[in-house]
Structure formats: structure tokens, C-alpha cells
Amino acid sequence: MTALNDVLWFEVFTVFGAGVTLVEVIGFVTGAWCVWLVGRQNPWNWPIGLIQVAAYLVLFWQAGLYADSSLQLVYVVLGLWGWWNWLRHRPMGSALHVRRANRMEWTLLPVVGLIGAGVMWWVLTNFTGSTVPAADATTTALSLLATYGQGRKILQSWWLWIAADLIYIPLYAVKGLWLTALLYLIFLALCVVGLRRWQGDADRGPRGSQVLVAA
């Protein structure tokens, strides 16, 4: 275990005087790959994303981003669910199609997000040494909602990722995680591309979805 820790925390290079470890590099590479695959509706985004999750669980805990670190455990469950949800109809030739959020989702999900962010902020403020409880809680809530939407192929999930990324970028920079901040800047660009691809897919309907999934 000590040998593995030494490898994961090996300092590969520095950015603005902050060391970038191998575990952060792993999270960077798998994260960018994962989001690119999501935009193409490729189901391999889910297993690649699970590798990213494992890397960031360790990295964020070390950086004191306790909500973000704990979020990775939820991502494992959501990742397995999303992977199954994307694949379950494919043997029958009816892959999951991109759609817009329905009225119930527009009503319920914002309420769940606000309550979740409030609870996490209270927990972080009272039971951890977090120095950024509001930002940590907000990004965690947005990311959970976005992952749910991604698993359902809801078009608006991209807007949630964009909102989260706009907070994540300065947050990780403040924490000295410069490579991760750069990754989330790349995420932001990939989210815009993914949004446009899914927008066109939603406009074309099920036939368009089948073409993109096969691409």
C-alpha cells in the first residue's frame, strides 16, 4: 500500500509552483476522455469515468474538498446505473434517446438540488474543516443532478455541467489543483460541444440518436 501511495503521489511536474501528482494526471486524462465520449453518446464514457472517479476521490480528500471527495462514491453508483441505463435496450435495437426534461423534472430536480446543497453546506460547515463549504456544496449538488440527467440523456444536463464547471475552475485554482482547473476549463469547452451535438440529436428525434450512438 505504501508503494502504491508513493506512485500515486509522485510529483510529475509543477504548475505555478504547485506540484502536480500522478493521481491528478490520471484524473485529467480519464476525465477529458470521458466527457468527449459522453458528447458522442459512447457508453464507454461510463467505465472510463469510473477510473476518473477513483483518482479524484483520493485527490479531493487530500485537498480538503470533502464534499467533492465523498461525491465520488455516489458517482460510482450513478456511473454503474448510467452505464446499465445506456446499454439495457441496445440488444433490442432501441438505444436510449436524447430528450428534453419533462415538466416533473423541471419542477422536482431544482428543489432536490437546493435542499441537497443546503444540507451539504450545513454538514461541511459544522462537521469538517472545509474552507470552501458553499462552493463545495453547490458544485456537488449540480454535479449530482447533471449525472442523473446524463444517465437519462436529458439535454439540459449539459447546462448543469456548464454551471458546475464555471464554479469548479476558480475553486480548484484556489486549492492549487492547477491541472484539474485546466481540465475543467477543457470540460467547459467539451460541454458546449456536447450540448450542441445533443441539441441536434434531440431535434432529429430517435433516428438521429441511433446514428450518433453508432458513430
Residue 171 in domain: yes
Residue 202 in domain: yes
User: What pLDDT is recorded for position 211?
Assistant: 40
Q: State the cell numbers at 142.
A: 449540480
Its domain, for residue 154, covers 2-87+109-214
User: What pLDDT is recorded for position 176?
Assistant: 81
Q: State the cell numbers at 147.
A: 449525472
**DSSP letters for 153-186:** TBTTHHHHHHHHHHHHHHHHHHTT-HHHHHHHHH
Query: Exposed e or buried b for every residue in 91-106, given b needs 16+ CB within 10 A?
Result: eeeebbbbbebeeebe
Q: How many structural domains compose the chain?
A: 1
User: What pLDDT is recorded for position 13?
Assistant: 56
User: What pLDDT is recorded for position 214?
Assistant: 33
User: What pLDDT is recorded for position 1?
Assistant: 54
- pLDDT by residue, tens only, the chain of 215 residues: 566 565 666 675 565 666 678 888 898 899 899 999 999 889 999 999 999 999 988 888 887 778 778 878 888 998 999 999 888 755 544 467 899 999 899 899 999 999 999 998 999 899 887 888 899 899 989 999 998 999 999 999 999 999 999 999 999 888 888 878 888 899 899 999 999 999 988 887 665 444 433 33
Residue 100 in domain: no
* Distance, CA of 8 to CA of 23 (rounded, Å): 5
CA trace torsion 110, 113, 118, 123 (10° rounding): 170
> Please, are residues 79 and 29 in contact by the beta-carbon 8 Å criterion?
no
Residue 103 in domain: no
User: What pLDDT is recorded for position 131?
Assistant: 83
Residue 181 in domain: yes
User: What pLDDT is recorded for position 2?
Assistant: 63
Residue 95 in domain: no
**Helix %, strand %, coil % for the chain, to 5?**
80, 5, 15
Cβ count near 197 (within 10 Å): 18
Residue 160 in domain: yes
Residue 174 in domain: yes
pTM of the model: 0.77
